[in-house]
Amino acid sequence: MPDARDIVNLVQARVKRVLDLAELAIPADKFERFRTLVFNEFGHEGFRRDLAALLDMAARAAWKGMARAGTSLAGKVVRHECIRRPARIA
């Protein structure tokens, strides 16, 4: 399964191509500002932060799904039926 680095590397290759094309089309005085905006959006302040949050959320959901299925990381089945809750004190 691809990890965050694989995804970021793919995006960075596309960003480089977009910046190369934009440098040809945008006047030099405006290109530096455009370049800064692109790096902010696709760098640590934008896309990378969102990607990390998304992958973290997916990992937590997978962890919870394993717990619901009664499977630990070691692949052992936990039998919840045999665990009794303490009686309520009225």
| In a domain? residue 89 | no
Of 3, 15, 6, the residue nearest 43 (C-alpha): 15
- Mean pLDDT for all residues in the chain: 78
- The better pLDDT of the pair 89, 9 is held by 9
What is the tally of structural domains in the chain?
A: 1
Structural domain span for residue 75:
4-82
Name every residue whose Cβ is closer than 8 Å to that of residue 26 and which is 6 or more positions away in sequence. Answer: 34
| 88 located within any domain | no
Asked if residue 19 is part of any domain, the answer here is: yes
The model's pTM: 0.59
Q: Quick one: residue 70, left, alpha or beta (phi over 0 = left, psi -120 to 50 = alpha)?
A: left
User: E-strand spans in the chain?
Assistant: none
Task: Determine, yes or no, domain membership for 87.
Answer: no
Q: What is the DSSP letter of 89?
A: P
**Residue 90 included in any domain:** no
Residue 47 sits at the vertex; the CA angle it makes with 62 and 7, to the nearest 5 degrees, is 60
